[in-house]
Structure 1
């Protein structure tokens, strides 16, 4: 959309993760895609922003620091915020973050997984590789609200690639208790020094321990290899409209039941994974230069949809706008 396609202004080199300091307590707002994108970059990391509608993009970020831990509240209109591979390479700030949904609905994706969050739920993600947030206000509300905790020195021994983009239930169990504690901390007026980073370190230990506690059992090496092979097969055959669980299972000499069991701990079914990847591929094609020259029916077939009508309905359901409008905004 317009936010991701606009030329990115040159700016001073970003500090590395080891050099970065949390900002002083501040509340700032922005109006317009580019100012909003720049504001997010100042408080967190560089992101592309895809508005979900044609109206004005407004938002507000309030941040303060407790030692090396940054506590933030973000409010804005419906949008997708994307950390692309290119941005992760050019912006070297490496943080571990927790996003706790305060109001609205959200979907976060990283490391081949995605999960939906309801108010009170939270998820972990890291900024040194691609991730995506889709945030919607819902219910006629003017804005969604996300509480973000950012660790500037998360350490190198965290098994975070196993923990990212997994829904942590904010209503029950240990993750529910922790969600309420995290929310209270962000909403409080606690700020200032944290000698030895004790608060940041102990809180990070609680977050990762709680996440590990609710994690599904790690699959055996053979299952991990099969899962990687299935994902690669899906990428190579997205244009095939016959790509479905039965075809995928047959290509890998397993039963459909075994295939579903393989995806049991992946936050989405095989069919939903295929559909998501088709829509993501279509979105990438629509944002490319020269995309206006390709009829939507051609884009639909390239991504495995039988016709433009089915493609349009699926695209709008996923991204809140039509393929043609998305293409127009991306090319503007």
Structure 2
């Protein structure tokens, strides 16, 4: 878990708004923003990195924010953003829809597309934001499009579970260890998926076959928990869930990717995160590869280059320069179903 903190009070008043805007551009995504507060502008932002996901909490003076078509063409963060207002609220417009949200009215945005957001507060607005990568996210993009700007209540049902998790996560980070990060990210993804699926289910015909979706989520959770085991294969996964290998492949057909490809994507995503982590700079690449289920360094290097168009060493070197590493390419490959026998412990 990596935490960054920005406080406008640490910056000369004449530079506060510009410093805050630049910090958002570097840590989240480039934005056009405006505030009428002038030199009196104040903001405090705390950013937590949980693997490839980000959770950020901010208290900020009223501000207008835009992701213009030009900015979306220049920079695609490749994430979905969930916003949870705690005090104050916001006006949002995206994908031809407009909405006004108050405290605990969660809503989803797609920063890859133009969006207008006006933060409303007296004197300030307090909100929590979550950015999760689109790559590997279990719900299809067409389903996520149905949720953009829509009110997702954060005081009841699954929404209350998610808002409670985010409040606890951002309230006191000192009680968490770095080793908690993968588990916290997995819990976050499961709660987000449960919330989104709940509201899509309420539409009647938006999410077909909820039983299959529940099984897929259960299997994906199992996979994330066992990524470090090189013996993780479709047969062992099927055995753990008391289903046949052929049925496992049929369940995953609706995801547009095979089980083996999904496992490889998750392993590469975790390895990519560790390669960019400055605290792991001295850890040999083959150790990171082995940690995420690639016992043979050559196999890892080949898979990483095929997925991201760059070697693991070059990717790490880019990260160490403090410049953003080259973006991961979405190169999903559909593998034929594995038919080998399970390799059990």
TM-score normalized by the length of structure 1: 0.52
User: Residue 29 of structure 1: CA displacement?
Assistant: 2.4
Q: Secondary structure at the match of 2:40?
A: coil
Change in Cα spacing, 1:206 to 1:114, as seen in structure 2 (3 Å) is same
Q: Could you tell me whether the CA contact under 8 Å between 1:106 and 1:117 is conserved in 2?
A: yes
Choose the corresponding residue for 1:88, options 72, 84, 98.
Answer: 72
Distance 2:204 2:184 in 1: 33
Distance 1:195 1:178 in 2: 15
Deviations 1:243-265 (A, max 9, x none): xxxxxxxxxxxxxxxxxxxxxxx
Cα RMSD (Å) of the superposition?
2.6
Change in Cα spacing, 1:180 to 1:39, as seen in structure 2 (3 Å) is same
Distance 1:114 1:88 in 2: 19
Are 2:35 and 1:51 equivalent residues in the alignment? yes
> Which position in structure 2 is the counterpart of 1:204?
192
Are 2:84 and 1:100 equivalent residues in the alignment? yes
User: Residue 74 of structure 1: CA displacement?
Assistant: 1.3
Deviations 1:278-319 (A, max 9, x none): xxxxxxxxxxxxxxxxxxxxxxxxxxxxxxxxxxxxxxxxxx
Task: Give ranges in structure 2 of 5+ residues lacking alignment.
Answer: 9-14, 207-345
Distance 1:96 1:54 in 2: 31
Distance 1:217 1:52 in 2: 45
Q: Could you tell me whether the CA contact under 8 Å between 2:86 and 2:126 is conserved in 1?
A: yes
> Which position in structure 2 is the counterpart of 1:150?
131
Change in Cα spacing, 1:38 to 1:144, as seen in structure 2 (3 Å) is same
Q: Which moved more, 1:45-54 or 1:124-133?
A: 45-54
User: Residue 42 of structure 1: CA displacement?
Assistant: 1.8
> Which position in structure 2 is the counterpart of 1:116?
100
Distance 1:55 1:167 in 2: 34
User: Residue 132 of structure 1: CA displacement?
Assistant: 1.8
Distance 1:33 1:110 in 2: 25
Distance 1:36 1:147 in 2: 16
Q: Secondary structure at the match of 1:194?
A: helix
User: Residue 98 of structure 1: CA displacement?
Assistant: 0.7
Task: Give ranges in structure 1 of 5+ residues lacking alignment.
Answer: 1-22, 219-332
Are 2:149 and 1:168 equivalent residues in the alignment? no
Q: Could you tell me whether the CA contact under 8 Å between 2:2 and 2:50 is conserved in 1?
A: no
Q: Which moved more, 1:194-203 or 1:162-171?
A: 194-203
> Which position in structure 2 is the counterpart of 1:61?
45
Distance 1:85 1:100 in 2: 25
Counting only pairs closer than 5 Å after superposition, residues 272-291 of structure 1 correspond to structure 2 as none
Q: Could you tell me whether the CA contact under 8 Å between 1:68 and 1:200 is conserved in 2?
A: no
Counting only pairs closer than 5 Å after superposition, residues 298-309 of structure 1 correspond to structure 2 as none
User: Residue 209 of structure 1: CA displacement?
Assistant: 1.4
Deviations 1:14-41 (A, max 9, x none): xxxxxxxxx8311112453322211111
Change in Cα spacing, 1:191 to 1:34, as seen in structure 2 (3 Å) is farther
> Which position in structure 2 is the counterpart of 1:246?
none
Q: Secondary structure at the match of 1:42?
A: helix
Choose the corresponding residue for 2:60, options 69, 76, 85.
Answer: 76
TM-score normalized by the length of structure 2: 0.50
User: Residue 184 of structure 1: CA displacement?
Assistant: 2.6
Distance 1:91 1:178 in 2: 29
> Which position in structure 2 is the counterpart of 1:26?
4
Change in Cα spacing, 1:217 to 1:112, as seen in structure 2 (3 Å) is farther
User: Residue 53 of structure 1: CA displacement?
Assistant: 4.5
Deviations 1:188-222 (A, max 9, x none): 4246331696334323312321332455877xxxx
User: Residue 106 of structure 1: CA displacement?
Assistant: 1.3
Structure with greater contact order relative to length (CA < 8 Å, sep ≥ 6) = 1
Distance 1:34 1:54 in 2: 10
